[in-house]
Protein backbone atom coordinates (compact mmCIF):
# COMPACT_ATOMS: atom_id res chain seq x y z
CA UNK A 1 0.00 0.00 0.00
CA UNK A 2 2.82 2.42 0.86
CA UNK A 3 4.62 1.80 -2.42
CA UNK A 4 1.48 2.64 -4.35
CA UNK A 5 1.47 6.10 -2.81
CA UNK A 6 5.12 6.61 -3.73
CA UNK A 7 4.37 5.62 -7.32
CA UNK A 8 1.44 8.03 -7.42
CA UNK A 9 3.62 10.84 -6.10
CA UNK A 10 6.32 10.01 -8.65
CA UNK A 11 3.74 10.12 -11.43
CA UNK A 12 2.50 13.49 -10.20
CA UNK A 13 6.04 14.88 -10.02
CA UNK A 14 6.79 13.65 -13.56
CA UNK A 15 3.55 15.24 -14.74
CA UNK A 16 4.37 18.57 -13.10
CA UNK A 17 7.94 18.60 -14.38
CA UNK A 18 6.81 17.63 -17.88
CA UNK A 19 9.42 14.93 -18.42
CA UNK A 20 7.37 13.79 -21.39
CA UNK A 21 7.75 17.18 -23.11
CA UNK A 22 9.05 17.57 -26.61
CA UNK A 23 12.88 17.34 -26.60
CA UNK A 24 13.04 20.81 -28.18
CA UNK A 25 11.16 22.28 -25.20
CA UNK A 26 13.48 20.60 -22.71
CA UNK A 27 16.64 21.57 -24.61
CA UNK A 28 15.32 25.08 -25.23
CA UNK A 29 14.52 25.49 -21.56
CA UNK A 30 18.03 24.43 -20.56
CA UNK A 31 19.55 26.74 -23.17
CA UNK A 32 17.50 29.77 -22.09
CA UNK A 33 18.30 29.03 -18.44
CA UNK A 34 21.99 28.76 -19.26
CA UNK A 35 21.90 32.11 -21.02
CA UNK A 36 20.18 33.64 -18.00
CA UNK A 37 22.80 32.16 -15.66
CA UNK A 38 25.50 34.21 -17.39
CA UNK A 39 23.64 37.48 -16.91
CA UNK A 40 24.95 39.80 -14.19
CA UNK A 41 21.51 40.16 -12.57
CA UNK A 42 22.18 37.98 -9.55
CA UNK A 43 19.22 37.43 -7.32
CA UNK A 44 16.84 37.64 -10.27
CA UNK A 45 17.92 34.51 -12.16
CA UNK A 46 15.12 32.32 -10.82
CA UNK A 47 12.45 34.91 -11.53
CA UNK A 48 13.86 35.54 -15.00
CA UNK A 49 13.95 31.79 -15.71
CA UNK A 50 10.33 31.31 -14.60
CA UNK A 51 9.19 34.27 -16.69
CA UNK A 52 11.08 33.02 -19.75
CA UNK A 53 9.77 29.46 -19.32
CA UNK A 54 6.17 30.62 -19.21
CA UNK A 55 6.60 33.27 -21.93
CA UNK A 56 8.23 30.89 -24.41
CA UNK A 57 6.34 27.77 -23.19
CA UNK A 58 9.52 25.90 -22.33
CA UNK A 59 10.09 23.16 -19.80
CA UNK A 60 10.09 24.95 -16.43
CA UNK A 61 12.34 22.46 -14.63
CA UNK A 62 14.97 22.55 -17.38
CA UNK A 63 14.91 26.35 -17.47
CA UNK A 64 15.40 26.57 -13.71
CA UNK A 65 18.23 24.04 -13.77
CA UNK A 66 19.91 25.98 -16.56
CA UNK A 67 19.63 29.24 -14.66
CA UNK A 68 21.62 27.70 -11.80
CA UNK A 69 24.55 26.51 -13.92
CA UNK A 70 26.84 29.35 -12.82
CA UNK A 71 27.11 28.62 -9.12
CA UNK A 72 28.10 31.34 -6.61
CA UNK A 73 31.70 30.18 -6.05
CA UNK A 74 32.32 30.41 -9.81
CA UNK A 75 30.74 33.86 -10.28
CA UNK A 76 33.95 35.93 -9.90
CA UNK A 77 35.80 33.75 -12.41
CA UNK A 78 32.91 33.72 -14.90
CA UNK A 79 32.42 37.48 -14.64
CA UNK A 80 36.15 38.11 -15.06
CA UNK A 81 36.17 35.91 -18.16
CA UNK A 82 33.08 37.64 -19.57
CA UNK A 83 34.60 41.05 -18.85
CA UNK A 84 37.77 40.09 -20.72
CA UNK A 85 35.71 38.83 -23.68
CA UNK A 86 33.78 42.10 -23.62
CA UNK A 87 36.96 44.15 -23.52
CA UNK A 88 38.29 42.20 -26.49
CA UNK A 89 35.09 42.66 -28.52
CA UNK A 90 34.54 46.32 -27.63
CA UNK A 91 38.21 47.13 -28.05
CA UNK A 92 38.71 48.95 -24.80
CA UNK A 93 41.06 46.96 -22.61
CA UNK A 94 41.43 48.42 -19.15
CA UNK A 95 44.60 47.21 -17.52
CA UNK A 96 46.43 48.03 -14.36
CA UNK A 97 43.62 50.06 -12.80
CA UNK A 98 41.86 48.79 -9.71
CA UNK A 99 38.09 48.94 -10.09
CA UNK A 100 37.45 49.98 -6.48
CA UNK A 101 39.74 52.84 -5.52
CA UNK A 102 37.60 55.58 -4.02
CA UNK A 103 35.29 55.25 -1.07
CA UNK A 104 32.45 57.40 -2.32
CA UNK A 105 29.57 56.05 -4.40
CA UNK A 106 30.27 58.61 -7.13
CA UNK A 107 33.90 57.51 -7.46
CA UNK A 108 32.86 53.86 -7.45
CA UNK A 109 30.22 54.45 -10.16
CA UNK A 110 32.77 56.39 -12.25
CA UNK A 111 35.11 53.39 -12.16
CA UNK A 112 32.41 50.76 -12.71
CA UNK A 113 30.63 52.59 -15.55
CA UNK A 114 33.67 52.11 -17.80
CA UNK A 115 33.35 48.36 -17.32
CA UNK A 116 29.57 48.15 -17.77
CA UNK A 117 29.37 47.98 -21.56
CA UNK A 118 32.19 45.43 -21.93
CA UNK A 119 30.55 43.33 -19.20
CA UNK A 120 27.16 43.40 -20.94
CA UNK A 121 28.73 42.49 -24.29
CA UNK A 122 30.88 39.76 -22.74
CA UNK A 123 28.08 38.14 -20.75
CA UNK A 124 25.79 38.21 -23.79
CA UNK A 125 28.34 36.60 -26.13
CA UNK A 126 29.52 33.99 -23.62
CA UNK A 127 25.92 33.30 -22.55
CA UNK A 128 24.82 32.77 -26.17
CA UNK A 129 27.72 30.40 -26.81
CA UNK A 130 27.00 28.44 -23.63
CA UNK A 131 23.29 28.33 -24.48
CA UNK A 132 24.03 26.91 -27.92
CA UNK A 133 26.23 24.19 -26.43
CA UNK A 134 23.61 23.45 -23.77
CA UNK A 135 20.83 23.15 -26.38
CA UNK A 136 22.73 20.71 -28.58
CA UNK A 137 23.93 18.62 -25.63
CA UNK A 138 20.51 18.50 -23.95
CA UNK A 139 18.66 17.70 -27.18
CA UNK A 140 21.01 14.82 -27.97
CA UNK A 141 20.85 13.56 -24.38
CA UNK A 142 17.05 13.56 -24.30
CA UNK A 143 16.88 11.71 -27.62
CA UNK A 144 19.40 9.10 -26.46
CA UNK A 145 17.69 8.54 -23.11
CA UNK A 146 14.31 8.14 -24.76
CA UNK A 147 15.72 5.77 -27.38
CA UNK A 148 17.32 3.66 -24.64
CA UNK A 149 14.07 3.58 -22.68
CA UNK A 150 12.12 2.59 -25.78
CA UNK A 151 14.62 -0.19 -26.53
CA UNK A 152 14.41 -1.54 -22.99
CA UNK A 153 10.62 -1.36 -23.11
CA UNK A 154 10.58 -3.39 -26.33
CA UNK A 155 12.79 -6.02 -24.74
CA UNK A 156 10.40 -6.13 -21.79
CA UNK A 157 7.39 -6.58 -24.09
CA UNK A 158 8.82 -9.72 -25.68
CA UNK A 159 8.48 -11.66 -22.44
CA UNK A 160 5.28 -13.70 -22.18
CA UNK A 161 2.79 -12.50 -19.62
CA UNK A 162 0.13 -14.40 -17.69
CA UNK A 163 -2.54 -13.12 -20.07
CA UNK A 164 -0.86 -14.99 -22.96
CA UNK A 165 -1.44 -18.35 -21.27
CA UNK A 166 -5.18 -17.93 -20.72
CA UNK A 167 -6.24 -18.78 -24.23
CA UNK A 168 -9.02 -21.20 -23.19
CA UNK A 169 -10.88 -18.63 -21.16
CA UNK A 170 -13.94 -17.35 -23.05
CA UNK A 171 -14.43 -13.65 -23.69
CA UNK A 172 -16.91 -11.96 -21.32
CA UNK A 173 -20.16 -10.85 -22.97
CA UNK A 174 -20.32 -7.18 -23.86
Whole-model pTM: value is 0.72
Element (H, E) at 159: none
Element (H, E) at 113: helix 105-157
CA 31 to chain centre: 6
Tens digits of per-residue pLDDT, 72-95? Answer: 889 889 998 998 899 899 887 666
Q: How far apart are CA 110 and CA 141, in angstroms?
A: 46
Torsional sign, CA 148, 150, 153, 154 = negative
* pLDDT of the residue at 114: 81
Backbone angles phi, psi at 158, to 5 degrees: -75, -15
Tens digits of per-residue pLDDT, 124-173? Answer: 999 999 999 999 999 998 888 888 888 887 776 655 544 444 445 556 66
Q: Is 85 helix (H, G, I), strand (E, B) or coil?
A: helix
Strands of 64-107, DSSP E: none
Q: What percent of the chain clears pLDDT 90, i.e. is strictly above it?
A: 38
CA 18 to chain centre: 14
Strands of the chain, DSSP E: none
Q: How far apart are CA 148 and CA 144, in angstroms?
A: 6
Amino acid sequence: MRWGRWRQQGARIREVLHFGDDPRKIAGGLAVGTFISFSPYYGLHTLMALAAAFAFRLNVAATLVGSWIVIPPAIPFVMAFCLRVGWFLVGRPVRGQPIVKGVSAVALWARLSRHLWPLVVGTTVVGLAAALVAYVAAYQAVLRVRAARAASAQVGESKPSDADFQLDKPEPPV
